[in-house]
Amino acid sequence: MPLKRKLLGLAVAAVAIPAAVAVVPNAFAAGPDLLPLTITNDSGRGEPVHLYVLGVSGGRLGYVTEAGAFTPWTGGANPPAPAPDVSIDGPAPGAAKTISVPKGLSGRMYMSFGDKLDFRLTPDGLVQPAPWAGGDANANFLFDWSEFTYNDAGVFLNSSQVDMFAVPHSVSVTGSDGRTLTTGLLEPGGRQAVIDGMKADPDFAKLVKTRDDGTVLRVLSPGKGAEGSGFPAGYLDGYIDRAWAAYANTDLTVRPFLDQPDKVFLGRTSGDVLSFRDASGAQVATFTKPSTADVWGCDGNLGAPNDLVVGPIARSLCAALQRGTLGTQAVEPSTDPATFYRSEPVNLYNKLIHEQMVDGKAYAFAFDDVANQESLVHSGDPTSIGITLTAF
C-alpha cells in the first residue's frame, strides 16, 4: 500500500512511494550497496539525453553522480538560486548506459531531451521543475521522471503520470533469481493515442501542451491543468454530489486491505459528512464532502494519514472518485478495471493512459496503487533495475 509523501523538499507534487518501504522492512533483503541502473534509449529521437538522479538519503537532500556517490546540496538562497549542473550524459539513440544508485536513497531520476533542466535551491530545499506553474523555466523543455526507493526492503521503481504524461518509458527490475519484471510500457503509438483522445474533448484538450516547433511536450493531469491552464476547477463537482448522496440510506462498505477481506468499515452520509464505523459499531472516521481539487490531489478533505484506519479509507474513497465508481456500487474499492471510468463526467486523463498501457498499469494519480493498478516493480533482493525510453 503506497504512502503519499513529499519528496525532495519544496514546491513539488506528492509522489507515490510504497508504504512497505516504511512499515514492512524485510530483514533478509539483500541487494548491492550500489544498484546498477541501465537507461536504454529506444526513443527514436536525435536530441541528447540528460539524466539527473536526485533524492533523500539519511534525511538529507542531494544528488547522485554517475558512479553512485551521494552528495548533499549546499548553498541556496531566497529567492531560489540556480543549482549546480549535476546532469549525467544519457545514452545516444539506440544505445544504453548504466549508472549506479546507492542503497538508502529515495527520489527521482529525471530524463530531459535536448535541454538541461533548471533546478533551484533555497536554504532548506530543492525547487524542482513544475511546467504547469506560470513562469517555470522548464515549461518549454521535453522531460519526465521515474520514482524509486532503494533500502533494506529492496527496490521499488515506478513510472509516474501523477502530474503529467510526457516521455514514454518502461521500468524494470531483475532479482537475484534472474527473473525480470517490467511495467509502464505503452502500446505502439500509445503516446499519440493519448494526445489525440485528449484533443478530441474540449476540456481535456486544454491539458495538451505544445512547443512552438510543434512538439507536444506533455499532457498535464487535470489537477495541474486546473491551476493555470483553464481546465474547469469544478469538473467533478456534480458527480461528487451524486456519489456522496448515494449512501444516505444505504451503507457503503469499504474493504481497504486485499489481504484482509474481513476487515471492513461501513459508511453513511448525513448531509455533507460521510461517517464510518467499524465492526463493533464504533465511529472511526468522518469525511466532509470533498471538492474536485481534493479528488485530483487525494488531499484536503480526502487527506490520508499513514495509519491503519482513516488513511486506508481515504485512499479507497479517492480512488473510487477518480475512477468514477463511488456511488455506483455498495463495496469499495472496486478491483475490476472494467468498472472504472464509466461515470460522467469521465476522468479522461486516467482512462486514456491506462487504456494505452500494455498491461493496463499506470500511476495516473497518487493512489492508483489501490487495487494494484500502478506501474510499479519491486524486488526484495534486486541485482539491477532499468528504465527504457520507448519510441515516440
DSSP conformational letter for 186: B
Higher pLDDT, 22 or 267: 267
Confidence label for 251 from pLDDT (cuts 50, 70 and 90)? very high
**Residue among 147, 332, 369, 374 flagged as catalytic:** 147
CATH number of the domain encompassing residue 134: 2.60.110.10
Confidence label for 274 from pLDDT (cuts 50, 70 and 90)? very high
Percentage of the chain with pLDDT > 70? 93
Same domain, 61 and 175: yes
Task: Please provide the size of the chain in residues.
Answer: 392
Q: How many domains does the chain have?
A: 2
Same domain, 27 and 54: yes
Angle at 144 between CA 199 and CA 159, to 5 degrees: 95
Same domain, 33 and 109: yes
Secondary structure of the chain: what % helix, strand, coil (to 5)?
Answer: 15, 35, 50
Confidence label for 30 from pLDDT (cuts 50, 70 and 90)? confident
Percentage of the chain with pLDDT > 90? 92
Same domain, 216 and 164: yes
Q: Is 77 helix (H, G, I), strand (E, B) or coil?
A: coil
| Omega before residue 18 within 30° of 0, cis | no
| pTM of the model as a whole | 0.92
160-169 pLDDT per residue, tens:
999 999 999 9
**Residue among 33, 136, 144, 163 flagged as catalytic:** 163
Same domain, 53 and 163: yes
339-383 pLDDT per residue, tens:
999 999 999 999 999 999 999 999 999 999 999 999 999 999 999
Same domain, 100 and 198: yes
User: What integer best gives the mean pLDDT of the chain?
Assistant: 93
The C-alpha cell 526507493 sits at 149
Contact predicate 129/136, CB 8 Å? yes
Same domain, 190 and 242: no
Element (H, E) at 20: helix 20-23
Residue 331 grid cell: 463495496
pLDDT at 311: 98
Residue 163: active-site member: yes
Region 67-84 average pLDDT: 95
Same domain, 329 and 201: no
Beta carbons within 8 Å of 94's beta carbon, 6+ residues apart: 41, 42
Residue 187: active-site member: no
* CA-based nearest residue to 101, from 161, 145, 153, 37: 37
Residue 324 grid cell: 468514477
Alpha helices in 165-309 (DSSP H): 190-199, 222-225, 237-245, 292-297
Contact predicate 389/42, CB 8 Å? yes
Confidence label for 60 from pLDDT (cuts 50, 70 and 90)? very high
Confidence label for 28 from pLDDT (cuts 50, 70 and 90)? low
Same domain, 79 and 199: yes
Confidence label for 122 from pLDDT (cuts 50, 70 and 90)? very high
**pLDDT greater than 90 at residue 15:** no
Which range marks the domain in which residue 164 is found? Answer: 2-229+350-389
Q: How far apart are CA 28 and CA 154, in angstroms?
A: 10
CA 134, 50, 2, 306 torsion-angle sign: negative
Q: How far apart are CA 167 and CA 170, in angstroms?
A: 10
Query: For the residues of 299-356, what is the DSSP string, one character each?
Result: -GGG---SSSSHHHHHHHHHHHHHHT-TTT-SEES---GGGTT-SSS--HHHHHHHHT
Same domain, 166 and 283: no
**pLDDT greater than 50 at residue 198:** yes
